[in-house]
Structure 1
């Protein structure tokens, strides 16, 4: 499976990138970066740092710095840390970004691999919407777009109605939901069924430098979850979307068109193109597979 991950690393993004790189079913072609958990320049630096740690010589194409129509943006440092990777503050600048925008990178690779490229978007959907603007054939060239985002008929995680990735660019999300992708939405309905505990991260740390890195950055993330009253661990949001690309049979879906209202709620809209919404996942399986994949990394 040829894949590009559109990302805003981000603690849970780091685990998702490591998982995608390690899974033998995935051929990772590169990363595109977007604002979200961090400012976009931090997203790109973190993406290059993570790829270097993984020993993955892959391009990073920087994308949108702001939501559509916005003039400012402020990341949620209380969730991911001021630099995006928890307590790590001195993150080195390794390598350079690719010499094309994220939208151009996405469009070029989709055209080069028509019907074969899976895009896994685990940040705000601005780069995906920009790619639609750049090439009207982008949505049909892509084999499948799998997004981590949305909360379907359940409460959000940034406001009572909205999931964060969707909320950060409502206009872009609506453009994506209207574009006609073969689209899978892996939102809070599914991701809240996966739970990584401090013990899970400690087990990863026993495996390799990659596992130690993931454990180290998890401490900040777990403290955030505890600060909002969730003391039993953190949801495996972005990695669940990666797993949905490869193992859809482990998920239960409904099919519906989607619209994002002014509050950021993802709601059914039968007038829009039908997409799949993940309602359930085998949560224990997902966590065990992620742990085993990271534990075996480099062995």
Structure 2
């Protein structure tokens, strides 16, 4: 087996976050080193609870969870997106207190330390707003050089937005942090709506997951019903997008995507806040994923998730 990817997921669980974390825990080519939590789909405190619950369900309670920042860098806090993910983040599944606890380090401290200790090896996959990543850059001037790759779910180059006409939700919820990250010089891959809107999963797809993994697959299937229902309320009846899992899969299967290397900037102007644009300055390029073999990504996702139990 090829060398495992050493991965930390920065997350706001969230239904598709749960799918992404379950996938990462089950994928043989990933060594899951930790979860860091952020606001977005839920509050940061709820995200920490949910991250601990997911690891408990997986039997991976040895994986550390570090709690992140609770509001954007400059903007006032946003309310959680309960309409998409449910009041507690897992659709209709009620909240329950986990047995485990977060570690003492904050998310930025944990990220900066791990990047330093695993210089050039660590892959960080942020699947929520980029507030913790920007804070890690503040904390350690060498962070951008120390981290091997940042593979983030967010933004779009040509697809438009999903929370405003201009902006994808993760970038919109902290544009100032996102601009800091894209300008940092870190090795960044952007897994945005240009590809995730092409990866659509229907109810029957999640039924197959439950059939293959009756315990944890059933949990994901139950969560997916809430997520799929939201999509129908906005006129999308052909399935839900596989946003966050696509970013995890891009960490280990880049051959399933086609990147375009361009410098990316983020609008912080009120009219277009959160839009990801071609930068006009001399910052390094980001690998923006523009096309995807959606069938292969869905096959890969189902194959790994079928082994959850």
Short-chain TM bin: over 0.9
Give the CA deviation at 1:273.
1.6
Aligned with residue 23 of structure 2, among 19, 40, 61? 19
1:146 is paired with a residue of what secondary structure?
Answer: strand
Give the CA deviation at 1:42.
0.6
Contact 2:134 2:178 in 1 (8 A): yes
Runs of at least 5 residues in structure 1 that lack an aligned partner in the other structure? none
> In 2 relative to 1, CA 212–67 (structure 1 residues): closer, same or farther, beyond 3 Å?
same
Contact 1:45 1:94 in 2 (8 A): no
Aligned with residue 141 of structure 2, among 136, 139, 156? 136
Q: What is aligned with 1:195? A: 200
Q: Distance in 1 between matches of 2:126 and 2:235?
A: 28
Q: Deviations over 1:63-102 (max 9, x none)?
A: 0110012343311110000111101123233311111100
Give the CA deviation at 1:154.
2.1
State how 1:217-228 maps to structure 2 within 5 Å. Answer: 217-228=223-234
Aligned with residue 239 of structure 1, among 230, 242, 245? 245
Runs of at least 5 residues in structure 2 that lack an aligned partner in the other structure? none
Q: Does 1:42 align with 2:46?
A: yes
The number of residue pairs the alignment matches comes to 298
State how 1:20-169 maps to structure 2 within 5 Å. Answer: 20-56=24-60, 57-169=62-174
1:180 is paired with a residue of what secondary structure?
Answer: coil
1:162 is paired with a residue of what secondary structure?
Answer: coil
Q: Does 1:278 align with 2:278?
A: no
Greater CA drift, 97-106 or 288-297: 288-297
Contact 1:205 1:212 in 2 (8 A): yes
Q: Distance in 1 between matches of 2:96 and 2:295?
A: 33
Contact 1:153 1:267 in 2 (8 A): no
Q: Distance in 1 between matches of 2:288 and 2:163?
A: 20
Q: Deviations over 1:195-222 (max 9, x none)?
A: 1110011111122311011001111100
Q: Deviations over 1:149-206 (max 9, x none)?
A: 0011222000001000000000000000000111000000011111111001111112
Q: Distance in 1 between matches of 2:31 and 2:142?
A: 23
Q: Distance in 2 between matches of 1:129 and 1:260?
A: 13
Give the CA deviation at 1:250.
1.2
Considering only aligned residues, what root-mean-square deviation do their CA atoms show, in Å? 1.0
TM-score, structure 2 normalization? 0.95
2:92 is paired with a residue of what secondary structure?
Answer: coil
TM-score, structure 1 normalization? 0.98
Q: Distance in 2 between matches of 1:10 and 1:91?
A: 15
Q: After the TM superposition, which segments of 4 or more aligned residues of structure 1 sit over 3 Å from their partners? A: none
1:297 is paired with a residue of what secondary structure?
Answer: coil
Q: Distance in 2 between matches of 1:13 and 1:90?
A: 16
Give the CA deviation at 1:232.
1.1
Contact 1:4 1:31 in 2 (8 A): yes
